[in-house]
Amino acid sequence: MRLIVAMTGATGAIYGIRLLEVLKEKGLETHLILSRWAEETIKMETSWTVEAVRKLAAAFYCEDDLGAALASGSFRHQGMIIVPCSMKTLASIAHGLAINLISRAADVTLKEGRKLILVPRETPLNAIHLENMLRLARLGAVILPPMPAFYHHPRSLQDLVDHLIGRILDQLDIEHGLYQRWPGAALAREEKS
């Protein structure tokens, strides 16, 4: 399986990093695009170096490389994930503005009918954000905001991050054991008592 992973400058760099770690552990081929602001966010929010994040992927591309293979529909892949996804990137995709390799690769992913997963990071959301997400959802993109769940009784920040990564993997039909699935209300009550 070949996947494109893009990271923008929105907060939540750890989501993109953890996704890359898990995909590498599973032996999947990843092609990484980092925006300039994603690189800054990695430095500000994590103990990771940009170089170490790049090494998690099979291939790395700069956001300005519009001549990259990823910019063409002939580059075959099974999905693209933008995590975290800034509202600027989301808006540029929603309106067909291929301003950099991230938005161009996303545009091509939609054009070719492939899975596009966006993990938007902003709160609160204004009407423009919501309309752009609705537009993309209607075009077939999966809008997967990083909203924590608590039914699996997370004990750490890592548990919350892994839950989101598991939900992304679910969208791609990739098996994982990153979180305990919802057992159903009856079983959840039994486990509690």
CA–CA dist 19, 124 (Å, integer): 25
Q: Is the peptide bond preceding residue 124 cis, with omega within 30 degrees of 0? A: yes
Q: Are 56 and 21 in contact (CB under 8 A)?
A: yes
Residue set of the binding site for dimethylallyl phosphate: 151, 167
8 A C-beta contact, residue 22 and residue 175: no
- The binding site for FMN comprises 9-11, 35, 86-89, 121
How far, in Å, CA of 30 to CA of 65, rounded?
Answer: 17
* Binding-site annotation: residue ranges: 9-11, 35, 86-89, 121, 151, 167
| Residue 17 backbone class (left: φ over 0; alpha: ψ -120 to 50; beta: rest) | alpha
Return the CA Rg of the chain. 17
